[in-house]
Amino acid sequence: MRFSGSLYALTAAVLLGLALGNAQWVVARQATEGDLPLEALRSFTEVYERIQSDYVESVDDEALIRNAIRGMLENLDPHSAYLDAEAYQELQEGTRGEFGGLGIEVGTRDGFVEVIAPIDGTPADAAGMRPGDLIIRIDGESVKGMELRQAVRLMRGEPGSAVTLSVMRESADQPREVTMERAIIRVESVRTEMLEPGLGYVRISQFQSGTGDDLLRALERLNRNADGLDGLVLDLRNNPGGVLQAAVEVADAFLSRGEIVSTRGRVARAESRFIATPNDAISGAPLVVLVNAGSASASEIVAGALQDHRRAVILGESTFGKGSVQSVLPLRDGHAVKLTTARYFTPDGRSIQAEGIVPDVTLANVVVRDEGDDESLSARDYPLAEAVNLLKGLRVLAPDR
């Protein structure tokens, strides 16, 4: 079968139209009117034809088209993807705070699976997985060029079953084998404690739908126990992000006015601004936010807002730089696409995407041994100990509240 001229374009347009539902006649019309690149569409049609006529096995037409859609989305950026019903359910599970697997947030880089951050208290955390680690094999199977969803499915499984990852770290010459036992992952989003009299600590491990309310309740308890906080450390290290609204609510807990974050995209519905409401939950007490290379997305929104409003001192390492908005758009066949539709901007207009948040005080995530006192805060968590020291200094310098 051979096509020529506008018929090539029309055929490719119909193929694309079958996948895109209502857009099919728009695509076809644009193709014949010259709005779409004719040569590229001709190549698409020719490759499709060659696969059907010469590939070693017969390939289902629908499977070919779906694979074309997947490739089209995945080559846009690491976060756009095609979602079938099962994949969409998995996406929803992550926002509810309970799912099965290893407890690791991942993306893609250079064709491999990249660790964004391990989640507190999970098998990945216990195994020492770090942000930036590249997973190159799962149970001996190479992930090079593998669809991210497929890699995630290979890492998930029955609780109690084992999976072995081959992990390449930038500082290492050879990959290492890491065997972990899968578990039901229940994420405790907000955890608190008193570090010293008057100095509180809040750890947010992931932004879920209830994180904002959980934070306000936690701060109320800390304030009550301390008879008013003199300072607070907000720990967002290795927090891979989550629900946008939760990030807005967390930042709003410490801000009384002004913009928290804005989103900007090509279409009007992608444009939005989130504004703080009156009432600071800790009444203006000094605030230090701990971040590192595993702080991503919603974590960066919070850190950027508090930094731009001079409400907190950001301490640690530059953050991951995941500052884009993904919208889940349903298709006619019950499937969906997750498409990057906007980017996040801080109140001062800084883009988070690929840049991240640069801390006010840079501090490497090092481990310190305290001779004779391994239980000291410096030995257990050096960045946190430095955050406490910084809080004490800010408390001395802070005006009466």
Q: pLDDT tens-digit profile of 290-319?
A: 999 989 999 999 999 999 999 999 999 999
Q: What is the pLDDT of residue 84?
A: 81
* 296 contact partners, CB below 8 Å, separation of at least 6: 105, 116, 117, 239, 240, 241, 319, 320, 321, 322
The residues facing 191 across adjacent strands are 203
Ordered by where they begin, the domains of the chain are 6-59 (no CATH), 98-185 (2.30.42.10), 190-397 (3.90.226.10)
Q: pLDDT tens-digit profile of 343-379?
A: 999 999 999 998 899 999 999 766 666 665 556 888 7
Q: What is the pLDDT of residue 129?
A: 93
* 313 contact partners, CB below 8 Å, separation of at least 6: 286, 287, 288, 289, 360, 361, 390, 394
C-beta atoms surrounding 13 within 10 Å: 26
- The letter for the amino acid at 74 is E
Task: Kindly list the catalytic residues.
Answer: 297, 308, 322
**Where does residue 191 rank: exposed (0-12), middle (13-18), buried (19+ CB within 10 A)?**
middle
DSSP string, 61-125: HHHHHHHHHHHHHHTT-TT-EEE-HHHHHHHHHHHHTEEEE--EEEEEETTEEEEEEEPTTSHHH
* H or E, element range at 196: strand 190-196
SS3 323: coil
DSSP string, 254-300: T-SSSEEEEEE-SSGGG-EEEE--S--TTTT--EEEEE-TT--THHH
Q: Are strands 176-181 and 162-168 parallel, antiparallel or unpaired?
A: antiparallel
Residue 242, sorted as left (phi over 0), alpha (psi -120 to 50) or beta, turns out to be left
SS3 356: coil
DSSP string, 128-157: T--TT-EEEEETTEE-TT--HHHHHHHH--
Q: Are strands 287-291 and 231-235 parallel, antiparallel or unpaired?
A: parallel
Q: What is the pLDDT of residue 397?
A: 76
* Phi–psi pair at 108, nearest 5 degrees: -125, 145
- The letter for the amino acid at 52 is Q
Q: What is the pLDDT of residue 399?
A: 58
User: What torsion do the CA atoms of 104, 107, 113, 117 make, to the nearest 10 degrees?
Assistant: -30
Closest residue by Cα to residue 313 from 264, 363, 270: 363
Q: What is the pLDDT of residue 401?
A: 55
Q: What is the pLDDT of residue 370?
A: 60
Q: What is the pLDDT of residue 83?
A: 85
Per-residue pLDDT of the chain (401 residues; tens, 9 = 90+): 334 444 444 455 555 554 444 444 444 455 444 567 888 888 888 998 899 899 999 989 888 888 888 888 888 988 888 888 777 666 665 555 556 789 888 888 888 899 988 888 899 999 999 888 999 999 999 999 888 878 988 998 888 999 999 999 988 889 999 999 999 887 778 999 999 999 999 999 999 989 999 999 999 999 998 888 999 999 999 898 988 999 999 999 999 999 999 999 998 888 999 999 999 999 999 999 999 998 999 999 999 999 999 999 999 999 999 998 888 888 877 788 989 999 999 999 999 998 899 999 999 766 666 665 556 888 778 999 999 999 999 988 765 65
Q: What is the pLDDT of residue 21?
A: 42
Q: What is the pLDDT of residue 20?
A: 42
